[in-house]
Every structure is written in C-alpha cells, then in structure tokens.
Amino acid sequence: MIKPEIRVLGVDDGVFTPHVKGLVPVVGVVFRGGYWLDGVMHTKVEVDGFDATEKIASMIINSPHYKQLRVIMLNGVTFAGFNVVDIKKLNIEIKLPVIAITREKPNFKEIHEALKNLPKSEERWRAILNAGEIFEVSTRSKDEKVYMQISGIFEEDARKILQLTSTRSNIPEALRVAHLIASGISLT
C-alpha cells in the first residue's frame, strides 16, 4: 500500500550553457505526496561530466531528510548536458527506488549520435541503456502522459506514485518544483 503522503524527492538541474565547462546547480525537493513541500537540498555537477550519479547520491545520503524518503524521482537520466545518472547504481548506493521521468519518449538513435561528440561516449551510452525499459504512464488523465524508467521498484508501484504525486501538472509536484527552483538559481 502506498501512503498518500509518501515522501518523495524530485531532482532536476538548472540552466546552463551547453558544451561550456562549468558547474550546474542540481536541486532536490522533498514532498509529502503531491501537496506539501518538506525540504530542499542541492549540489552541483559538471557540464557533460561523469559526476552526476555520485554527487546526487551524496546529496541524498547526507541530507537530514534521507531517512524519511521512500522514492527518488529524476528529471530524466541526463543532467548538465550528458552527465548521465546510472539509475541502477544510484538505487544501490542510496538504497531507495529511483524513477527517471521524461515528458517525451527518448529518441535513442539521436542520443547515441550526440554522444559520439563527447569523450567516453560508449561509457555514457551504457549508463543510458542501463536505465532499462521505458514505460508510458498516464498521470492525471489518459491524455496526459509521461515516460519513466525504474530501478528498485515494481512498475505498478511506480505508476501509482506518479499518479498520486502529479497534482498540478502531468509530472510529479516534487519534480515540477525542483525544476522551478533549479532554473531560478541558475547563473546563466
């Protein structure tokens, strides 16, 4: 049974200039269900770097909210360009389920081509593929769909959590607010 006030963490990155070295803010927002903001945490990751999985795991584990969290939601698996979060590795490190959510279904052919312009492209590609199967989910109505990839959680439970926490838009409230905050504190 999934409680209506399940504590979820939504994680999104801020605005950045593509292909320009630098750090990008990453914000985590703790919500009880889809209604109550309980906390905010943050870190920074490198543009097109390799530190997103580690930095996000550290941000979560070192947060005073860690013990209350039940599931982590990421805005996709790529942060700060192509700094790829390996959701299976993140799930193991933080010992919590991970759901990566996107508004549009990823075009893997385009992603694989874009990765060829970056160092260690095959390592990045493996992390993207490691996120596993993509599931289409109707959140607030049959017309409002998002796409998810999961680790450490059953598909049906992940669907229920997305529907429960998507109270004001077709994405979970914790992710929507994380996006607003991360965008608002970005320097570019």
Mean pLDDT score, 110-115:
93
Distances (CA, A) of 135 to 31, 76, 97, 138, 157: 23, 13, 16, 10, 13
User: What is the three-state SS of 5-52?
Assistant: CCEEEEEEECCCCCCCCCEEEEEEEEEECCCEEEEEEEEEEECCCCCH
**Domain boundaries, position 42:** 7-185
Instruction: Please report whether residue 1 resides in a domain.
Output: no
Instruction: Please report whether residue 151 resides in a domain.
Output: yes
- pLDDT, tens only, 72-82: 999 999 999 99
Instruction: Please report whether residue 2 resides in a domain.
Output: no
Instruction: Please report whether residue 12 resides in a domain.
Output: yes
- pLDDT, tens only, 121-133: 999 999 999 999 9
Please state the domain count of the chain: 1
Check which CATH number belongs to the domain holding 76 and give it. 3.30.2170.10
Instruction: Please report whether residue 108 resides in a domain.
Output: yes
Neighbours of 13 (CB within 10 A): 28
Instruction: Please report whether residue 150 resides in a domain.
Output: yes
Strands 83-84 and 78-79, by their bridges, are: antiparallel
Give 27's pLDDT tier (boundaries 50, 70, 90).
very high
Instruction: Please report whether residue 167 resides in a domain.
Output: yes
Residue 188 confidence (pLDDT) above 70? no
